[in-house]
Structure 1
Amino acid sequence: MNYGTLNTLNNILKNLQSDAATLGLTIAGLMIIVYVIMVMFTDDTNVTAHNKRWQNLQKVFLCAALIAAAGAIVTFGQQLGHAIHP
Structure 2
Amino acid sequence: MLRVEDRELDARLDALRREGDVRAVLEDFNRRVVDARRQLLGGPPVVTKPRDVDAEVEAWHGRRAAAAAAEPPALEPRKRWFRRS
TM-score, with length taken from structure 2: 0.39
- Bigger Rg, structure 1 or 2: 2
Would you tell me which structure has more helix in proportion to its own residues?
Answer: 1
Larger RCO (alpha carbons 8 Å, 6+ apart): 1
TM-score, with length taken from structure 1: 0.38
